[in-house]
Amino acid sequence: MDTYKINENGFYGEFGGAYIPEILHRCVTELQSNYLRIMESESFISEYRQLLRDYVGRPSPLYLTRRLSERYNCRLYLKREDLNHTGAHKINNTIGQILIARRMGKTRIIAETGAGQHGVATATVCALMNMECVVYMGKTDVERQHINVQKMEMLGARVVPVVSGNQTLKDATNEAIRDWCCNPSDTYYIIGSTVGPHPYPDMVARLQSVISEEIKLQLQQAEGREHPDYIIACIGGGSNAAGGIFHYIDDTRVRIVLAEAAGDGVDSGRSAATIQLGRRGVIHGSRTLVMQTPDGQIEEPYSISAGLDYPGIGPMHAHLATTRRATVLPVEDGEALAAAYELTRLEGIIPALESAHALGALHKIGFKSDDIVVLILSGRGDKDLHTLLQYKF
């Protein structure tokens, strides 16, 4: 195989595509035929770059840990997405998509959110661009993620609690798709990860690719070479990982390690380890691996980290995993918690629980002392303090 990149029909190998209801056909086709042209235009590039620099605070630092490197016997760098405005990598994507929406003449933005992080990142850019914003969120999540709901409201978004199904992310996504079906001409749907129908996985990966673009420059300066030996990232839908590996995807000198949330254990019945447990299916417009019952009903995932409990996975990652380009390691709640405390105590950085899953994979890999390892620290832990403090290490 020559490339792990997407093909012209929106597939990564057997995964991806656009499996959508007829009524959305025009919206999705419109986006498919415009996103690359817009993203490659000079006006988009200059506005996007300027906002990443002055509003988000990019480039994010590539920090060579001292005590953590010693602990794991390698040269361990953290890509500090936790230092971005709004506290995670998600803003890289929402800024890009709102600029695309404006160039397509859309006036209204909708989004779905689980933990509320994507909702906050979307509400933030809508305030910045003075656009109407509606965020669908499962009622259970509205109650669990109260501070993020308040932030979205302060930013001027309307948060709609969804009462169907289990009242979580999957149901919020269904509701957002329903809204889009009713308002196809003026509304743009900002998806928060490398999931959904083509072109979303590719568009989001490209918008997050600034992460690996910066890593290449930063490693060149720090180590005299552009590529690490390992890139490690957590995967919910897969966007921070996609951004971190984008420019290395066909460079097999770089080993890709993806950490997925194993909850109480892969075989415990309470996990979100989609790649370990999933079977081929279609979810939210994309053919990928899906956690499902024998008769094809989507199973409710569980993880201590609200950002990782999605029953699907981006088609790029399904392809990387099934072709063994990437190594996928399941990380349990307890391992992630221990890793969060370890980073906090060794380096003075409190990570998001999602990012703690990437950290929790470190002890499962045997490094050589001259290995250069880059771990994507996707977000900061402020939002998770309450959970972290329930467990004392």
Ligand X SMILES: *Cc1c(COP(=O)(O)O)cnc(C)c1O
CA 283 centroid distance within chain? 16
Query: C-beta of 332: minimal distance to ligand X in Å?
Result: 17
User: Please, which residue, 31 or 306, has the CB nearer to ligand X?
Assistant: 306
User: Please, which residue, 75 or 310, has the CB nearer to ligand X?
Assistant: 310
Residue 286 vs residues 17, 196, 210, 374: alpha-carbon distances, Å: 6, 5, 24, 29
User: Please, which residue, 360 or 379, has the CB nearer to ligand X?
Assistant: 379
3-state secondary structure of 304: coil
Query: C-beta of 82: minimal distance to ligand X in Å?
Result: 7
Query: C-beta of 140: minimal distance to ligand X in Å?
Result: 17
What amino acid occupies position 136?
Y
Asked if residue 135 lies in contact with residue 111, where contact means CB atoms within 8 angstroms, the answer is yes
User: Where does this chain bind ligand X (CB under 6 A)?
Assistant: 88, 90, 117, 193, 234-240, 307-308, 352, 354-355, 378-379
Query: C-beta of 313: minimal distance to ligand X in Å?
Result: 9
Residue 272 vs residues 301, 305, 307, 370: alpha-carbon distances, Å: 5, 10, 11, 33
Q: Which residues contact 219 (CB under 8 A, 6 or more apart)?
A: 62, 77, 225, 226, 227, 228, 372, 374
Query: C-beta of 351: minimal distance to ligand X in Å?
Result: 8
Q: Of the residues 69, 79, 112, 342, which is catalytic?
A: 112
What amino acid occupies position 300?
E
What is the C-alpha to C-alpha distance for residues 308 and 360, in angstroms, rounded to an integer?
A: 14
Query: C-beta of 369: minimal distance to ligand X in Å?
Result: 29
User: Please, which residue, 75 or 95, has the CB nearer to ligand X?
Assistant: 95
Q: Of the residues 79, 81, 90, 355, which is catalytic?
A: 90
Please confirm, yes or no, whether 378 is among the known catalytic residues.
yes
Residue nearest ligand X, Cβ-based:
379
Phi-psi region of 134 (alpha: psi -120 to 50; beta: other; left: phi over 0): beta
User: Please, which residue, 20 or 359, has the CB nearer to ligand X?
Assistant: 359
What is the C-alpha to C-alpha distance for residues 100 and 105, in angstroms, rounded to an integer?
A: 9
Query: C-beta of 220: minimal distance to ligand X in Å?
Result: 25
Segment holding 344, helix H or strand E: helix 333-347
Rounded to 10°, the helix 25-39/90-103 angle is 100
What amino acid occupies position 44?
F
What is the C-alpha to C-alpha distance for residues 150 and 188, in angstroms, rounded to an integer?
A: 23
Nearest to 229 by CA among 212, 252, 246, 250: 252
Please confirm, yes or no, whether 112 is among the known catalytic residues.
yes
User: Please, which residue, 335 or 354, has the CB nearer to ligand X?
Assistant: 354
User: Please, which residue, 51 or 377, has the CB nearer to ligand X?
Assistant: 377
Pull the structure tokens for residue 255.
């080993």
The catalytic site residues sit at 90, 112, 378
